[in-house]
Structures are given as C-alpha cells and as structure tokens.
C-alpha cells in the first residue's frame, strides 16, 4: 500500500486517524503498532514476520545491554555486536545475495568455471530503513545516547511507525522516545500536518510522476543525443527530488496529524554551493546516520589526512550500495566520495566561497546531475551511453526515437519544477514580510494546495500513481 493510492487516501488513512483520535492516549501506541503492522502486511505477510523478528531480537538485546551496562562490559559489547550483526546480516542477505551471486557467476563464467544456481531472494520493502532504525537504537542505548524502551510495545511502534516505515526519514529513537510517552494533539498540529501531507502528495503525483515517463524514455534510448540526454538527466533530477521530498512531506504530515514531530530530511538541496553542502541538505537522516555510526567509528578526520579521505570513500561507497545492490550505485557513491575528498583537500567546506553564489550553485548542480545519471542507469553501459549523449557524441538535436513519444506536458512541468526550486528562497524570505498585502498573498497561496490535491486525486484515479523511488531501496 502506497501513500499515493486511492486505497490509502480513502480507506486506510481515514480509518487509522479516526480510531487513533477516538482512543484514550494510553491505547494510541497500541493502535499505531496494529495499524503499522497491517500497513506493512499489505505487501507480504511473511515479510511482516521478519519485521516482528527483528523487533523482538532488538528489544531483548537492548534490555540486556541496558541491564549490564555497568557490571558486564564484555557481555554488553558481545550483545551489541550480536544485535548489530543480526540486523545488518539480515539486511545483507536479503539485499545483496542476488547481487553477490550474479557478480560471482560473471567472474566464474569468464574463467570458464561452473556457475552457482541463483536464489532469487525477494527484497522486503522498507528493510533498509527499519534495519537502520533498529541498529541505531542498540548503539545509542550502548552509548547512553538514548533511553532503553520502557516496553516492547513502544520499541515495536517506533520501528514499525508506518509514516516512516517504507522510506524514512530515519528518525533516531532518542528523538521520538519522549513523544511516545507524551505528545500534544491540537487542531493546529493536525491542520498543519494535513497541509504538509497534501503538499507532498501534489509534489509526488503532479510533478514527479509527470516527468518520470520523460526520464524513462530517454534512459531507454540506445543513442541519446545532446538534447535527449540533458532532458532525461534533468527530468530524473526533478523526479527523484520531488518524489522523495514529497514522500518526506507526507510522512512528516502524517506524523503531525498524530502529534509526532519528525526530523526534516531536506533543506533545499539543489541550492547547495558545494557537494559538502549538498550532503548537509539531501537525505539528512541517512547522511547523519552514516556520519554517526560509520564515519566517526572509522576514525572520521582524527587519524590524519589520508585516512580521512579513505574514510570518506568507504562511507560514500557503502552509502551508495545501501541504495541498491548494483555497481551503478557503488560508482555513484564513489563519485560523491571523490568530490567530498577533493573539496576537503581544497578547503571548500571551511572557507568562504571564492565565487559568486549563483555560480557555485550552478557548478554543484552540474556535478549532482552527472551523479544522478549513473544512479538512474540500469547498468554502467547505459550510463556511459547517457554521458556520451551529454557530450554530444550522438548528435545534438532531438532524436526521432524520442520525438515520437515526446510529452509536451512533461516538458512544461519539468521547466516549472526547476523554476519552483530556484524561486523558493525568494518566497521563503518574503514570508518574513509582515505587511498585510504579503500576508494575504501567503494565505491565498496555501488555499491553492487543496484544488491541486484534488487534481492529484483525480490523476491517480485516472491512471494509477507510480511507486515511490526510495521504497525500492
């Protein structure tokens, strides 16, 4: 069940919120857990069993760590190692077994040896996100950065919390523990949450889903031209941002409607002035998770310059592979790792920008788009075809292969999306203007969200919405 489907909007969500607000507060966490497990079981019941098993093991080991933290250091470290190994081991099995066997068989075929039969392991939806939540809980309890969960119910509700279950944000338990025990339910929170949900819905359905066919068509071409390649790369750049940030807006909005305050996952990433700045703005919950639980334990920048560069590369390549079991994701991670290391070497993150801000934004955006090409491509060969097109090696005009399926609406929405991205800072600054005229403009702009939301509903009823991109990771 996806947020952008009629089933969710017309059946699941109203029933979930109605029962939630009708119950006394002490029963609301129970309902959150029941509703979240039902939401997840809609895909596959057996995968729900894996979620429950992960939660149960994490709960038991978390209690063990908290109980023995003072007296039995070795036992505590063993329990932590067991929990982290269990969670990440399951993630590795389901996510990378097929990839590992395919890579090994390719090598064996090259050497003329017999190949290994494929297992065809099915990846459970959202496993990357809930495994990271479970793992961070154990580490934070061990570090005393988070309290141990007071009950199994509380921890299970945190891990399975349905607004975050499929694609984040990866909120830490320490940020939500107090909210499970006490949170405010006001009309202001609910209305703000509903507005945020509708805004995210519109971003996903009206923008991301509209430009997606253009990106798909270009990436399917054998010889994309200069115009083709840049149109496709631009379309995917818009698609992935409005798809994922739309999901995040919907998740945050759902949380507000139930009294939760989730972390922000985006801060205008396409306005970054460097790649270092980009990773402070894009998928913030993942980048901070990788920093706190991988980069810093590896030594961070405390073990010399060369080790810092190595650590950056390790973290970014693993971060790329976290998105999917493919060499394209590894290359994408390595691309960002190289750029981060280079910027650190040049001191970009520490010094004042030497170039005008618009130029820095444009340069960073170019590097990000280049990275998105290999991220989106089905294989490295497909990525190289796109890069060849971006350099004009296959010609410059719109190809006949794209012309016959060119969608004018998608091109218009693509242009609108880029305008919206770069006009947003001006709008944000003007929101601080307390003049009566601007206040009326702001109020009327918010009213536009409702008819756009209704248009989105009609669109998904007419032709079903596409799955969220990050639900695949």
Residue 323 a catalytic site member: yes
Q: Which of 283, 323, 336, 394 is catalytic?
A: 323
CB burial readout 310-348, b (16+ within 10 A) else e: bbbbbbbbebbbbbbbbbbbbbbbbbbbebbbebbeeeb
In 3-state terms, what secondary structure has residue 300?
coil
Asked whether 372 and 239 are in contact (CB, 8 A), the reply is: no
Sign of CA dihedral 200, 260, 467, 399: positive
Question: What is the spatial distance between Cα 209 and Cα 292, in angstroms, rounded to a whole number?
Answer: 34
* Residue reference for tokens 């359905």: 205
Q: Among 162, 167, 173, 168, which Cα is nearest to 59's?
A: 173
**Residue 214 contacts by C-beta under 8 Å, 6 or more apart in sequence?**
231, 232, 235, 406, 407, 410, 411, 414
Peptide bond into 265 cis (omega under 30): no
d(CA 118, CA 250): 38
CA 87 from centroid of its chain's CA atoms? 19
Tokens of 272: 């970054």
Return the active site residues: 323
């Amino acid at each position: 069940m996806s947020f952008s489907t009629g089933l969710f909007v017309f059946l699941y969500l109203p029933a979930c919120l109605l029962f939630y607000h009708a119950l006394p507060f002490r029963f609301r966490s129970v309902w959150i857990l029941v509703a979240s497990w039902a939401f997840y079981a809609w895909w596959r019941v057996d995968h729900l069993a894996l979620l429950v098993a992960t939660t149960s093991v994490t709960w038991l080991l978390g209690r063990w760590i908290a109980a023995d933290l003072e007296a039995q250091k070795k036992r505590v470290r063993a329990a932590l190692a067991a929990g982290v190994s269990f969670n990440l081991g399951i993630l590795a099995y389901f996510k990378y077994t097929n990839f590992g066997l395919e890579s090994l068989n390719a090598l064996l075929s090259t050497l003329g040896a017999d190949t290994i039969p494929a297992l065809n392991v099915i990846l459970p939806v959202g496993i990357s996100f809930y495994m990271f939540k479970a793992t961070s809980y154990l580490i934070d309890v061990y570090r005393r950065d988070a309290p141990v969960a007071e009950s199994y119910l509380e921890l299970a509700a945190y891990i399975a919390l349905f607004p975050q279950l499929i694609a984040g944000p990866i909120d830490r338990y320490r940020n939500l523990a107090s909210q499970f025990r006490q949170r405010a339910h006001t009309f202001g929170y609910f209305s703000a949450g509903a507005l945020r949900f509708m805004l995210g819905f519109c971003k996903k359905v009206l923008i991301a889903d509209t430009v997606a066919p253009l990106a798909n068509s270009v990436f399917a071409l054998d010889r994309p031209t200069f115009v083709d390649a840049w149109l496709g790369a631009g379309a995917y750049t818009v698609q992935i941002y409005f798809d994922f940030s739309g999901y995040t807006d919907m998740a945050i909005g759902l949380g507000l409607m139930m009294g939760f305050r989730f972390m922000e996952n985006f801060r205008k990433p396409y306005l970054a002035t460097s790649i270092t700045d980009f990773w402070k703005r894009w998928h913030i919950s993942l980048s901070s998770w990788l920093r706190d639980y991988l980069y810093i334990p590896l030594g961070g920048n405390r073990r010399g310059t060369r080790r810092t560069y190595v650590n950056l590369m390790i973290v970014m390549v693993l971060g790329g592979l976290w998105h999917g079991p493919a060499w394209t994701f590894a290359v994408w991670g390595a691309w960002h790792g190289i750029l981060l290391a280079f910027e650190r070497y040049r001191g970009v993150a520490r010094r004042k920008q030497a170039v005008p801000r618009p130029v820095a934004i444009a340069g960073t955006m170019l590097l990000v788009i280049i990275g998105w090409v290999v991220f989106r491509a089905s294989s490295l060969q497909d990525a190289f075809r796109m890069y060849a097109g971006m350099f004009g090696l296959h010609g410059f005009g719109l190809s006949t292969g794209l012309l016959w399926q060119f969608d004018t609406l998608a091109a218009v929405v693509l242009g609108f999306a880029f305008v919206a991205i770069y006009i947003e800072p001006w709008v944000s600054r003007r929101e601080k203007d307390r003049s009566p005229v601007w206040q009326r403009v702001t109020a009327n702009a918010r009213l536009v969200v409702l008819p756009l939301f209704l248009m989105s509903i009609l669109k998904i009823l007419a032709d079903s919405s596409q799955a969220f991109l990050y639900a695949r990771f």
